[in-house]
């Protein structure tokens, strides 16, 4: 056997020892990391052929986490694929859950996942290395590519009998057997005889009846589930609002008769023109934007000892998703018409269903609207979305008896609630603001007349 072959066998034996130790102390994905670092450790025997990695022909692509905005520090990753899986371009390989939303990580191009640099459940930061995607077949038999190493094909059985005396004589079979059984006694009876104590009764209790077994199986139980990162963040922000804001809620009710008739009359024409349905939400968003223009203090926030007036109106719309409550933001609503608003709402709704909302979609916001009416809510007090100063809560539309011109009539009515930060808003400001929303919703013509 030649010197170059001896050196190769030493490397093979050394790398095999490392691999054995790593299997005892590390997880599978960590083992892949070490094997990737020591490129020759991919050497193995298959049909008495040695497989080698061609480092000069590997074509890999780094898969990185997306850039997070300043408001997001990290996210928890959930791996959807395994090392060795083949993926197509834009196929989702992992999901990063932040405190705002869940982000899908897609493969930049087709290939095979060579290694994951993070474990399932790890926290990852912006632009972190997640995985390496191999776009070529990087492992080949040496017989197929003789340029990989300039050595002859080695017969494993022949090498075992002709190993030079200068090499430490290691019986491969004994080493393999020892490594797999070193922690297991071949004679478990020796262990049992060395233990003192009374005889273990392995027989089942004779008085355990069928009914008793059934009672045990039907016993009350509990299940603990780890809170998601988004759920934890929602809880933190709700508690932050309670601990920071001096929250107070004022209520009113809105006669929905006009807006219901308005919707019935123009729904078909609106759909033909804009290819989108006309809902009630756009009326409340537009009414809120106009009311915020009339009452700029509601659009302001407290920053330490200063009041910051925002000369733009970005309305956060609370949307329920499978991951929890999300609040995408409609930007510059004061410049939007009904069609623009409905289109944006539908787009955010689809993204929420598909868990494809971007973090940028939920950054900011100067005022929030929450519509519990879609779930049948009659009444409720919403909690402020910090650092905003107010939130409008919409509820269900129900027929109720009301008086009009001295007569009792049955009309579609909605209760609305405005929760506000009493540190910045006086009660008068809050009541007038909510009354303005009521006016604009009940008679949208006042919006166009600017009265």
Instruction: Render pLDDT for 235-272 as a digit per residue (tens, 0 to 9).
Output: 888 899 999 999 999 999 999 999 999 999 999 999 99
CA dihedral 190, 196, 197, 200 (to 10 degrees): 0
- CATH number attached to the domain at 229-449: 3.30.559.10
Write down the CATH number for the domain with range 59-135: 2.40.50.100
Q: Long-range contact list for 412-416, CB < 8 A, 24+ apart?
A: 412/255, 412/256, 412/257, 412/260, 413/253, 413/254, 413/255, 413/256, 414/253, 414/254, 414/256, 414/373, 415/251, 415/252, 415/253, 415/378, 415/379, 416/251, 416/252, 416/253, 416/254, 416/392
b/e map of 143-154 (b: 16 or more CB within 10 Å)?
A: eeeeebeeeeeb
pTM of the model: 0.62
Q: What is the mean pLDDT of residues 276-295?
A: 95
**Out of 183-187, 359-363, 437-441, which region has the weakest mean confidence (pLDDT)?**
183-187
Q: Which of 68, 78, 92 is nearest to 122 (CA)?
A: 78
- Specify the residue for token string 């009311």: 291
3 against 42, higher pLDDT: 3
**Contact at 8 Å (CB) between 330 and 318?**
no
* Structure confidence by residue, pLDDT tens digits, 85-140: 999 988 989 988 887 777 888 888 899 999 999 999 888 988 898 999 998 754 44
pLDDT in tens, 292-325: 999 999 999 999 999 999 999 999 998 877 777 7
Q: Output 241 or 16, whichever has higher pLDDT.
A: 241
Residue 267 in tokens: 């729904």
CA distances in angstroms from 269 to 262, 273, 276, 277, 443, listed in the order given:
12, 6, 10, 10, 20
User: How much is the mean pLDDT over the chain?
Assistant: 78
pLDDT bucket at 205, cuts 50 / 70 / 90: low
Cα 212 to its chain centre, rounded Å, is 44
Identify which has the larger pLDDT, 323 or 170.
Answer: 323
Q: Parse the chain into domains and list their residue ranges.
A: 1-58+140-181, 59-135, 229-449
Catalytic residues: 422, 426
Average confidence (pLDDT) over 76-80: 90
pLDDT above 70: residue 4: no
């Amino acid at each position: 056997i030649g010197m170059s072959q001896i050196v190769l066998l030493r490397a093979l034996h050394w790398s095999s020892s490392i691999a054995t130790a790593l299997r005892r102390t590390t997880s599978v994905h960590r083992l892949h990391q070490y094997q990737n670092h020591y490129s020759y450790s991919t050497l193995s025997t298959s049909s008495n052929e040695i497989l080698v990695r061609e480092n000069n022909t590997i074509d890999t692509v780094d898969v990185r986490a997306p850039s997070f905005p300043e408001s997001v520090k990290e996210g928890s990753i959930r791996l959807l694929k395994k090392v060795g899986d083949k993926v197509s371009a834009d196929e989702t390989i992992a999901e990063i859950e932040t405190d705002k939303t869940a982000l899908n990580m897609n493969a930049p191009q087709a290939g095979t996942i060579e290694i994951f640099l993070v474990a399932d459940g790890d926290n990852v930061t912006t632009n972190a290395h997640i995985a390496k995607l191999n776009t070529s077949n990087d492992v080949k038999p040496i017989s197929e590519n003789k340029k990989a190493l300039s050595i002859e094909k080695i017969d494993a059985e022949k090498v075992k009998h002709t190993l030079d005396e200068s090499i430490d004589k290691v019986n491969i079979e004994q080493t393999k057997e020892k490594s797999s059984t070193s922690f297991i006694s071949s004679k478990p009876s020796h262990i049992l005889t060395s233990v003192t104590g009374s005889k273990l009764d392995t027989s089942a209790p004779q008085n355990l009846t069928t009914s008793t077994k059934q009672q045990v199986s039907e016993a009350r139980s509990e299940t603990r589930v780890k809170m998601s990162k988004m759920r934890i963040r929602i809880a933190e922000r709700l508690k932050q609002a309670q601990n920071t804001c001096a929250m107070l809620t004022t209520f009113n009710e809105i006669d929905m008769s006009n807006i219901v008739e308005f919707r019935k009359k123009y729904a078909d024409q609106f759909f033909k023109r804009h290819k989108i349905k006309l809902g009630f939400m756009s009326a409340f968003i537009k009414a809120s934007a106009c009311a915020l223009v009339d009452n700029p203090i509601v659009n302001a926030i407290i920053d330490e000892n200063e009041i910051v007036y925002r000369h733009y109106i970005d309305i956060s719309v609370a949307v329920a998703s499978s991951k929890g409550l999300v609040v995408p933001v409609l930007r510059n609503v004061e410049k939007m018409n009904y069609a623009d608003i409905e289109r944006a709402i539908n787009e955010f709704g689809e993204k929420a269903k598909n868990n494809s909302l971007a973090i940028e979609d939920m950054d900011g916001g100067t005022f929030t609207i929450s519509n519990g009416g879609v779930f049948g809510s009659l009444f409720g007090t919403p909690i402020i979305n910090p650092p905003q100063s107010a939130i409008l809560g919409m509820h269900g539309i129900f027929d109720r008896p009301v008086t009009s011109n001295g007569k009792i009539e049955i009309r579609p009515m909605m209760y609305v609630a405005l929760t506000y930060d009493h540190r910045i808003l006086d009660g008068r400001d809050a009541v007038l603001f909510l009354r303005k929303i009521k006016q604009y919703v009940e008679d949208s013509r006042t919006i166009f007349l600017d009265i």
